[in-house]
């Protein structure tokens, strides 16, 4: 890893083991992007990349410079609004005189060891000897604001972490209308774009298609990342596959309104941007203040989509997820939601725990309905005290569960309030709404104004008092509707557009405070399943409930789509009952186990009603989980089929860091008559070619054979057939 500045060439160079990132200072102080990709040398040759020809009077240039210096032509590090670059831009700062025209002119830079935290926001971390940061101060010549770009590189990963902040050293107010976290200008637009789309119960379905001229973007204005898209974007050369080809990625560490944009311009080059969604956003910067935009990670792999995913997984585990649980085997849990919904009492919960403990399950998670007077979803959110009528004394119940050898976890939905709740009756002004205006209700609940300190303080007090009251080792943090009528009663009119971002800062602050008070608390994040599955949330919660859709066949494309950026150890996955509650489909119990094994693993069904055969399978699945979780948690993940699990046959594998062990899973969704499914030779990846491996049936083969020829997968005789293959070096 190194960061270097050549005074002679005015050129910045960042290198990690396999990648280089270069840019230089241009004649008007602009930063011209030169290269991002595989490692290269010879600055002099590639310096020319920062020059583009093809000028016209319609691309004006800075006075005193040549037409080739038009900002409309150049590949830039940080483009600004209104000063000659007509493509999508990264920033717009409005001054007192009303203009939003902005420039970014190099003033100074510093290079230092380590990496700073971003105040109030999640950010990647490292030991100071393991990372280096380049900070460049640019000036907006129109307002005097400082735009500070930050680039960090890491000793152990091919990732560049970027962020940006704006400081106001002037005497007057400056308004940040737009400040995107990272810009990547490419010299060509010959890429497929890959991203994750979805909806509730069908999150993160990977899509891939060629870029076309014009702007393509996806975003959220829901106040959370949302089920619909995910804040990450990938550009893959058209021939790139899971295993080969140049692939670039951008991933935002943020859980609120974001945008990812790609513009193919008139010169058939590509500009990509990612950051806070500028729609209905603005931040008032008083003299002396600084605004921090969230961090974005830039990835590059020459080893295809699979290579990019592995870089992202490793980086999130090593540098983003800060929970002490990240490297620990998570307890096998049983969640009562699909078993009981709201219909439970302490006796029923204890019965589930007793049965579960006999089978080897290690933690009971009590889901929605334990608090206030909540017997359905129409009341009590915000009343975070135990419903004694239903549960008696919570501490006593938890003790009984602990006596069974099990841990105990509890569900909360901190950000919400029901109209029918003590909290709302006492503080009707605490919700987001436009005073005197119409308001929207979702699941009969309203959203608390998390931008308010008094709201965050009160939630901290009520939630920590429950967490102190019993031995609660896990918290499921849910969020079941999106934000509407985003207006905060405490903010003045000219700061209302700050509310959505301040909301997210409040959510992060509550996480910070709870984790400071309960450092070992295992938080599983959730938002109607995977409606807020992002790297920002993962900073605080090492796992996120992947989807409310627990159908094992549906989960394949959900989990493989999620794996574009996020590691298996971050995906909440449970075995649930059939017919499945979301799709009404019935699939074998063994398949449900194979799919849940690919996440944090647990059960979400009425365990007291399982047949003896199913109970035997539960015991076996839990044994497998203990045997294999280390590989799944810490190993390299390879998707063995193209298409992110959306085709009929899908397979994937994990390989242990020392390559001595691997676990592969393969699923065929539908069977065909007469065994006409072509025989599949499943070619594994990531093994050591020289090593001799033994399969569970004692057959032996070298890594080379297993990767080049593969293993024959039996024909499917029924729908939804699956197989797990375990290999160990001998």
Residues of the shown chain interacting with ligand GLA in the complex, contacts defined by CB under 6 A: 337, 367-368, 411, 478, 480, 526, 528-529, 545, 548
* CA 703 – CA 684 distance, rounded (Å): 8
Q: Which one, of 246, 16, 40, 49, lies nearest residue 151 by Cα?
A: 16
Question: Could you tell me the smallest distance in angstroms from the CB atom of residue 528 to ligand GLA?
Answer: 4
SS3 of 136-148: the string is EEEECCCCCCEEE
Question: Could you tell me the smallest distance in angstroms from the CB atom of residue 642 to ligand GLA?
Answer: 30
Transcribe 527-541 into DSSP letters.
BTTBTT-SHHHHHH-
Of 72, 130, 346, 548, the active-site residue reads: 548
Return the exposure string of 175-202: e unless at least 16 CB atoms fall within 10 Å of the residue's CB, then b.
bbbbbbbbbbbbbebebbbbbbbbebbb
Active site residue 158: no
Transcribe 6-29 into DSSP letters.
ETTTTEEEEE-SSEEEEEEE-TTS
Nearer CB in complex with ligand GLA: 162/202: 202
Question: Could you tell me the smallest distance in angstroms from the CB atom of residue 545 to ligand GLA?
Answer: 6
Give the DSSP H/E element, type plus range, for residue 518.
Answer: none
Question: Could you tell me the smallest distance in angstroms from the CB atom of residue 533 to ligand GLA?
Answer: 11
Nearer CB in complex with ligand GLA: 35/411: 411
| Inter-residue contact 366 to 374 (CB < 8 Å) | no
Question: What ranges in 360-408 are assigned the alpha helix state H?
Answer: 388-391, 394-403
Nearer CB in complex with ligand GLA: 460/545: 545
Q: Which one, of 316, 314, 317, 274, lies nearest residue 18 by Cα?
A: 314
| Inter-residue contact 509 to 561 (CB < 8 Å) | no
| Inter-residue contact 562 to 543 (CB < 8 Å) | no
Question: Could you tell me the smallest distance in angstroms from the CB atom of residue 309 to ligand GLA?
Answer: 25
Nearer CB in complex with ligand GLA: 77/367: 367
Active site residue 367: no
Residue number of the CB closest to ligand GLA reads: 368
Nearer CB in complex with ligand GLA: 226/529: 529
Nearer CB in complex with ligand GLA: 408/545: 545
Question: Could you tell me the smallest distance in angstroms from the CB atom of residue 411 to ligand GLA?
Answer: 6
Of 140, 478, 534, 551, the active-site residue reads: 478
Query: Which residues sit opposite 134 in a β-bridge?
Result: 111, 151
* CA 421 – CA 563 distance, rounded (Å): 39
What separation in angstroms does the CA of 510 have from each of 225, 455, 506, 561?
18, 10, 6, 29
485 φψ region: left (φ > 0), alpha (ψ -120 to 50), beta (else): left
Nearer CB in complex with ligand GLA: 303/367: 367
Question: Could you tell me the smallest distance in angstroms from the CB atom of residue 478 to ligand GLA?
Answer: 5
> Among all residues, which ones are annotated catalytic?
478, 548
């Amino acid at each position: 890893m190194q960061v270097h500045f050549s005074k002679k060439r005015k050129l910045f160079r960042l290198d990690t083991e396999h990648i280089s990132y270069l840019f230089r200072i241009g004649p008007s102080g602009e930063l011209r992007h030169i290269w991002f990709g595989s490692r290269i040398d010879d600055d002099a040759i590639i310096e020319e990349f920062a020059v583009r020809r093809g000028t016209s009077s319609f691309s004006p240039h800075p006075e005193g410079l040549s037409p080739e210096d038009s900002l409309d032509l150049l590949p830039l590090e940080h483009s600004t609004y209104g000063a000659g670059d007509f493509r999508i831009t990264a920033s717009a700062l409005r001054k007192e005189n009303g203009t939003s025209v902005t420039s970014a002119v190099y003033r100074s830079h510093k290079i230092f060891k380590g990496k700073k935290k971003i105040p109030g926001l999640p950010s990647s971390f490292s030991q100071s000897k393991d990372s280096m940061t380049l900070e460049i101060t640019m000036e907006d010549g129109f307002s005097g604001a400082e735009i500070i770009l930050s680039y960090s590189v890491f000793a152990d990963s091919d990732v560049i972490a970027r962020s940006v902040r704006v400081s106001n050293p002037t005497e007057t107010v400056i308004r940040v209308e737009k400040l995107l976290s990272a810009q990547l200008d490419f010299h060509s637009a010959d890429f497929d774009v890959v991203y994750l789309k979805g909806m509730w119960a069908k999150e993160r379905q990977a899509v891939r298609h060629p870029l076309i001229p014009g702007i393509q973007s996806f975003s959220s204005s829901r106040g959370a990342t949302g089920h619909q898209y995910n804040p990450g974007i990938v550009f893959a050369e058209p021939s790139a596959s899971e295993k080969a080809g140049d692939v670039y990625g951008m991933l935002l560490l943020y859980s609120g309104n974001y945008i990812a944009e790609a513009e193919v311009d008139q010169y058939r080059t590509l500009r990509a941007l990612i950051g806070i969604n500028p729609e209905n956003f603005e931040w008032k910067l008083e003299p002396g203040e600084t605004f921090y935009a969230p961090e974005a990670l830039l990835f590059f792999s020459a080893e295809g989509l699979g290579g990019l995913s592995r870089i992202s997984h490793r980086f999130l585990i090593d540098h983003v997820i800060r929970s002490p649980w990240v490297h620990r085997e998570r307890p096998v849990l049983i969640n009562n939601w699909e078993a009981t919904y709201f219909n439970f009492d302490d006796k029923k919960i204890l019965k589930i725990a007793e049965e579960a403990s006999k089978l080897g399950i290690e933690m009971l998670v009590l889901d929605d309905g334990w608090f206030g007077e909540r017997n359905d979803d129409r009341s009590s959110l915000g009343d975070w005290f135990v419903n004694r009528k239903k549960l008696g004394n919570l501490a006593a119940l938890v003790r009984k569960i602990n006596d069974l050898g099990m841990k105990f976890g509890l569900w909360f939905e901190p950000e919400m309030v029901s109209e029918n709740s003590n909290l709302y009756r006492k503080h009707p002004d605490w919700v987001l709404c436009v005073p005197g205006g119409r308001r929207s209700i979702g699941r009969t609940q309203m959203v608390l104004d998390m931008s308010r300190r008094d709201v965050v303080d009160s939630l901290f007090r009520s939630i920590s008092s429950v967490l102190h009251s019993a031995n609660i080792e896990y918290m499921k943090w849910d969020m079941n509707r999106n934000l509407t009528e985003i207006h905060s009663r405490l903010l003045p009119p000219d700061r209302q557009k700050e509310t959505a971002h301040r909301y997210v800062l409040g959510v992060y602050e509550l996480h910070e405070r709870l984790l400071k008070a309960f450092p070992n608390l295992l938080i599983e994040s959730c938002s109607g399943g995977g409606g807020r599955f992002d790297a920002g949330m993962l900073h605080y919660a090492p796992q996120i409930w992947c989807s409310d859709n627990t159908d094992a066949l549906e989960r394949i494309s959900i989990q493989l789509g999620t794996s574009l950026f996020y590691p298996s150890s971050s995906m909440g996955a449970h075995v649930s009952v059939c017919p499945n509650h979301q799709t009404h489909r019935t699939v074998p119990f063994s398949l449900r186990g194979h799919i849940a094994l690919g996440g944090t693993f647990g059960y979400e069904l009425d365990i007291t009603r399982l047949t003896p055969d199913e109970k035997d399978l539960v015991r076996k699945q839990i044994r497998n989980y203990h045997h294999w979780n280390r590989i799944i948690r810490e190993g390299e993940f390879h998707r063995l089929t193209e298409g992110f699990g959306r085709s009929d046959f899908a397979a994937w594998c994990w390989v242990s860091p020392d390559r001595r062990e691997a676990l592969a899973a393969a699923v065929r969704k539908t069977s065909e008559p007469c065994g006409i499914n072509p025989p599949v030779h499943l070619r594994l990846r990531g093994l050591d070619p020289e090593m001799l491996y033994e399969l569970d049936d004692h057959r032996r083969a070298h890594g080379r054979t297993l990767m080049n020829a593969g293993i024959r997968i039996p024909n499917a005789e029924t729908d939804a057939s699956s197989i797990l293959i375990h290999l160990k070096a001998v």
